[in-house]
Chain A
């Protein structure tokens, strides 16, 4: 008998466990206590105006989320996918984008949509059931929400391959060079499409940033069910760098994403950013997290709130006054009003609208079905 072949130590011991409250490689520029720390590789000299801007963005994003959640509770939306707790991850990533960069979102990227200039009211249509994505993707370079988990990462990679062929990558012209960001979550990291996207992007050196908001939960499935090692470590196996950033730290998320996008724009290929964060709300308004997770965990993460830490920092350093908060509060109220009133005023589609846009031009077959249904509707007494 020979000795059994050794495969070495348990890989979780080598790479670290899937969840370790961030771990040693976590890039952080602002601690949960609001202390500014520095990182040798990823840093940025934020001006007071930039800091106030990021704070404002996060507050308004949270307001969008809170208002939409309330609209669902009032029966105005069928469902809402909440982002509570993920404001820093989305604003940090969203503000790192340039106008020519293109975003492929999941259905939860409300903060990124806001950064890209999409009217938040337009996001509600899908959840109210009046449309399936009410904005023009090419108007703001913000793709339509994608509900099949991870499917959009392949679209992002293909789009990035198109950018390569358009000669808008690695030209050295900052106004021209472009990149794509693909958003997805920890749950999607198990999908075949996401893994295929990694392979295609690596193989073609496509200018795409894979931005994973690891919010620890895929509905009721914990991160341990998706991976045995930290997600960012997976990137190495596909042949590109992976970085774990504190996703509740808007400064660090901004700095890391900016660097990753720049790398892509310069023609140096894909990278993976794992924004380590926490879904403080439910998966959607139909979900009940009390069935599968402990309140202690939520309380633990509340101490890491992305908005509070920046507020502390701004106050402590005298970068804001009461007027700033008063003005922002008024702005948030105005935004809430816009969403509440706008949502209720969103027009319902008409029954015959369902026949439109199946194709670039309506086929005779569908036109016949539409006409038949129209005649049927007309046949009811009193119909006009």
Chain B
């Protein structure tokens, strides 16, 4: 039995990948710089050394090539896990993801499975140049045939990456890069994880529900702390799965609180918040005291990093939305 240890998200993902590779020798990792370097964020650190160059594959710099060859490997019976180095670099692979990865099972009427995990470090706040801070989740959640999940903390990182790899459908696996080396949490490897495609109440409350995923979960939790000092009780739900959505805990919460605020780093227009607002409105119409409010990035391209904190939803903007929710 291993003893619980304090780990970062980067470490949790690294340990999860290692465990998945130990458990199933069909699991392969591929991507740019994932081998000797261990990835630009060191998520695959040490894995090539231990599993060899045939299983941890440094690829040419071509994202469509990475995902397209992963399709072929999956057809051959492998379970490829590919790393897209940064969110903004996924678009060269967009055709392969949307037209091939997402549709192969449907095209073959279930005769072919596509157990591919596409890991994408996403979100901003690291002071990076253009294309390194984006949140493309809605583009994938909008695509039938893809499953999309986002982890928000080290423990989920450890379990969710293993669950995604063991899953028989393609999974877009979003990792909040700002959190990679931030907070530590205690991991108990002997624990039983929750199923992958479930949302979770991470802080119970009674006055309003805040929905978040990935990097904004931390923001939402801080909001709840701040609100508590002002006598307001916020319930925070970490969605974890963006497609399919696990709405049952959301509906249950909103029916109790009557108010709902969604926050994500992605643009508000046609983002995850729009879908969540529509569903909550449809299912909780008679419980709502206020319309569902969305707090996300403006509908502008990601700005130069010196002003990115004025672009990303932060504690104050989310609290402002909560206040507005109470003004109805």
On A, residues with C-beta under 8 Å from B are 104, 131-134, 136-138, 143-144, 146, 148, 151, 153-166, 192-193, 196-197, 199-200, 203, 356-361, 363-366
Contact = CB atoms under 8 A, between A and B. Distances in A.
5 contacts: A144-B107, A151-B95, A159-B73, A159-B76, A162-B77
B230 interface: no
A146 B168 CA distance: 22
B54 interface: yes
Given A158-B70, A200-B59, A360-B168, A137 B64 contact: no
B153 to A, nearest CB: 25
Contacts of A154: 64-65, 67-69, 71-72, 96
B2 interface: no
A347 to B, nearest CB: 13
B62 interface: yes
Contact of A158 (B76, B107, B113, B145): B76
B165 to A, nearest CB: 14
B105 interface: yes
Given A148-B100, A165-B54, A196 B68 contact: yes
A364 to B, nearest CB: 7
The 5 tightest CB contacts between A and B, nearest first, are: A158-B72, A154-B68, A162-B76, A158-B69, A196-B65
Given A151-B95, A360-B169, 6 more contacts: A138-B112, A158-B68, A158-B76, A159-B73, A162-B76, A203-B60
A200 B69 contact: yes
Contacts of A133: 107-108
A359 B147 contact: yes
Given A148-B99, A165-B54, A360-B168, A131 B109 contact: yes
A159 B105 CA distance: 17
Nearest to A155: B72
B144 interface: yes
Contact of B72 (A148, A157, A360): A157
Contacts of B169: 359-360
A159 B68 contact: no
Contacts of B99: 148, 151
A372 to B, nearest CB: 12
A155 B71 contact: yes
Contacts of B144: 358
A163 B73 CA distance: 9
Given A144-B108, A155-B100, A358-B144, A196 B60 contact: yes
B100 A161 contact: no
Interface string B40-63: 000000000000001000011010
Contacts of B105: 357-360
A155 B75 contact: yes
A146 B103 CA distance: 11
Q: Is the interface of A mostly helix, strand, loop or mixed?
A: helix
Nearest to A104: B72
B244 A363 contact: yes
B69 A143 contact: no
Nearest to A349: B109
A132 B76 CA distance: 21
Contact of A360 (B70, B107, B110, B244): B110
A193 B64 contact: yes
A89 B275 CA distance: 51
B78 interface: yes
Interface in B93-126: 95-96, 99-100, 104-113
Contact of A192 (B64, B104, B110): B64
A45 B188 CA distance: 68
Nearest to B245: A365
A135 to B, nearest CB: 9
Contact of A193 (B68, B110, B113, B197): B68
Contacts of A365: 244-245
A199 B73 contact: no
Contact of A161 (B67, B72, B107, B112): B72
Given A151-B99, A196-B64, A358-B106, A160 B244 contact: no
A162 B116 CA distance: 14
Contacts of A131: 109
Contact of A132 (B70, B92, B107): B107
A229 B23 CA distance: 50
A162 B168 contact: no
Nearest to A133: B107
A161 B244 contact: no
Nearest to A199: B60
Contact of A356 (B67, B95, B110): B110
Interface string B125-158: 0000000000000000000110100000000000
A104 B71 CA distance: 12
A158 B108 contact: no
Given A358-B144, A359-B147, A359-B169, A137 B60 contact: no
A202 to B, nearest CB: 9
Contacts of B145: 358-359
B76 to A, nearest CB: 3
A162 B72 contact: yes
B244 A364 contact: yes
A333 to B, nearest CB: 32
A119 to B, nearest CB: 15
Contacts of B73: 158-159, 161-162
